[in-house]
Amino acid sequence: MQSVDVTRRENLGLLIKEAGSQAALSEVIGKAPAQISQWLNASANSRTGKPRVMSNAIAREIEEKTGKPTGWMDQPASSSALSIPGGSNVELELPQGVRRVPVISWIQAGIWTEIVNTFAPGDADDWLITSDRVSDKSFVLKIRGNSMEPDFKEGDTVVIDPSVTPRPGSFVAAKNGREEATFKKYRPRSIDLVGNEIFELVPLNEDYPTMRSDETPITIIGTMVEHRRYFR
């Protein structure tokens, strides 16, 4: 019979699978990804030399925050999966007030309006937990390049909500004339003769050019509603 520590590590792995990633579970249970890694790997405490194991209090806290019954973390993985209707493939029950949003590629973002209704969980690169105030069509992009420095650095994540109309100075994801997204600052300029708004997409890094909607086909995909930066 395996130890409780091993069982908890296995069930922690199930929770990560249900959440979509270790980072997503970290947001749900309010524990740092590094701490989850220590529990998974039973890494040694640098001071005592003993493995870092999950305490009973932490196990109960994780059960509560993930919607599992008390004692679920201590049941062997095979039986714990059977104890949940649908088995281990059940989607993680999120706390009230939050939503799971897909992290997608720039190519996917460029055609988001066409694929959003058929987008499946396996199509996402990762998942991010955020407020349920964003719409169910929201998505996440990881910033690449340095065109938006210093405010946005490569590797930062932004939550884009297609239901939010941009205002002057908003940051937006837009289709840049190709089947790919770009992320820039939104600046309205004027109205053309037929009533269409002319706007610019402005990089914060002055080394990059500004795009104008009357010169290049541009379609706004959504407006940034959240910006995250992870410090290492």
pLDDT number for residue 231: 65
pLDDT number for residue 86: 38
pLDDT number for residue 205: 97
Answer for the pair 30, 21: CB distance below 8 angstroms, yes or no.
Answer: no
pLDDT number for residue 70: 86
Neighbour-count burial for 98-115, b at 16+ CB within 10 Å, e otherwise: ebbbbbbebebbbebeee
pLDDT number for residue 109: 93
Residue 139 has φ and ψ, to the nearest 5°, of: -145, 170
pLDDT per residue as tens digits for the range 95-122: 677 888 999 999 999 989 888 888 887 7
pLDDT number for residue 16: 85
Answer for the pair 104, 115: CB distance below 8 angstroms, yes or no.
Answer: no
Segments in the chain below pLDDT 70: 1-2, 42-51, 77-95, 231-232
pLDDT number for residue 189: 93
